[in-house]
């Protein structure tokens, strides 16, 4: 499986994220080749899930993929070309949940 077949569950390490898009999987990509933004959907204790929109920065994470952050800079994530998410701390004592869904915003 190449990880590029659209909406499917993926389990790597402690993460399991449902990806709602398909990206090509070339060997070399520049940061600008990645989507401008994503929506991260987290399970919330309330009735509705919590959705956070993150935008691509010019930084790359440890895996070589772009780092995305919300407008406050508090929610930061490295998102791979296969939609795998690594949440990144922006300050001390942060405890992150793993997003249930990663998707490109519609329209």
CB 77 within 8 A of CB 54: yes
Q: Which residues, other chains included, contact 85 with Cβ-Cβ below 8 Å and sequence gap of 6+? A: 15, 17, 40, 77, 78, 79, 98, 99, 102
For each of the chain's 107 residues, which pLDDT tens digit applies? 344 434 444 444 445 555 555 444 444 556 567 899 999 998 877 778 889 999 999 999 999 999 999 999 999 999 998 889 999 988 888 887 888 888 988 86
Of 59, 47, 23, 39, whose CA–CA distance to 99 is shortest?
39
CB 63 within 8 A of CB 80: yes
Q: Where do the structural domains in the chain lie, given as residue ranges?
A: 9-103
Q: Determine if the pTM surpasses 0.85.
A: no
**φ and ψ of 31, to 5 deg:** -55, -35
**φ and ψ of 32, to 5 deg:** -70, -15
> What is the bridge-based pairing of β-strands 66-69 and 76-79?
antiparallel
């Amino acid at each position: 499986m190449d990880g590029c077949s659209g909406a499917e569950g993926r389990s790597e390490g402690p993460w399991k994220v449902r990806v709602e898009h398909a990206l090509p999987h070339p060997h070399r990509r520049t940061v600008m080749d990645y989507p401008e933004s994503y929506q991260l959907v987290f399970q919330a204790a309330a009735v509705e899930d919590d959705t956070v929109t993150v935008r691509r920065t010019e930084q790359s994470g440890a895996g070589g993929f772009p780092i995305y952050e919300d407008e406050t800079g508090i929610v930061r994530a490295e998102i791979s070309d296969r939609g795998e998410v690594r949440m990144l701390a922006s300050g001390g004592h942060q405890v992150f949940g793993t997003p249930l869904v990663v998707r490109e915003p519609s329209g």
